[in-house]
Amino acid sequence: MSYSFLTGLARLLTRIVLGSKFHLRGTANVPHSGPLLIVSNHVGAIDPAIIGAWTPRPVWFMAKAELFKGSWAWLMRGYHAFPVVRHSPDRTALRRAFALLKQGSAVVLFPEGHRSDTARLLRAEPGAGFIARRSGAPLVPIAITGSQNVIGRHKVLPRRTEVAMAFGEPFQLPERNRDGSPMDHQQSADYLMTKIAALLPLENQGEYASSSLRQRAEA
């Protein structure tokens, strides 16, 4: 099945299942062309589906390699996903991501590396900072809340519940930390997460609550 068909189906299912309980804002912040790295928190199984459905341009996903070993591999590939071996320097996945960005595509990255069981932000993986720094692409943050309540773990039938997805303004990684020292990969990844945290309610900011509050105070 084509990407356009699958994303259209995802939009239809969003309207059927969630209806007016789905809240979307900030789509105008997404550049319509050119390389783009989209960074998002990850709290529910439906996150990739709604990101692909409601981002106003085609996107590609780095997804855990385990999802490509079962009967759903065709769906993952049809939805523009490609495998990455988590917690490792997967050179094949990195080359794919950089090649897509070089071609002017948009790539979605979940810096935390996996879903948060508490719906609060987890510490980002340093690999996310490496990709962002190495690519040099503009970045757009996404913050998602409530999606963990639509389809719980080990559940099949979806529930109608409040879900919000917000796109933040584009940004670039700074070259240096506030003290003038160069940013390493972990610090770069943490910076990405502060942009996501700034879009979330305080109770969902987790590891990045204090950074988000400081960033808002300085704005």
Residue reference for tokens 């943490």: 190
Q: Domain holding 131: CATH number?
A: 3.40.1130.10
Q: What domain count does the chain have? A: 1
Question: What does the alpha-carbon distance between residue 196 and residue 175 come to, in Å, rounded to a whole number?
Answer: 19
Domain of residue 7 covers: 3-218
Please write the tens of the pLDDT for every residue from 156-168.
789 999 999 999 9
Answer yes or no: is pLDDT of 147 > 70: yes
Please write the tens of the pLDDT for every residue from 15-70.
999 999 999 999 999 999 999 999 999 999 999 999 999 999 999 998 888 878 87
What are the tokens at 116?
């948060």
Please write the tens of the pLDDT for every residue from 180-207.
899 999 999 999 999 999 999 999 999 9
Q: What is the pLDDT of residue 217?
A: 45
Question: DSSP for 96-157?
Answer: HHHHHHHTT-EEEE-TTSS--TTSSPPPPPHHHHHHHHHH---EEEEEEESGGGTS-TT--S
- The average confidence (pLDDT) of the chain is 91
What is the set of active-site residues?
42
Residue reference for tokens 């900011």: 205
Strands 106-109 vs 59-64: parallel, antiparallel or unpaired: parallel
Mean pLDDT (whole number) for 85-111? 90
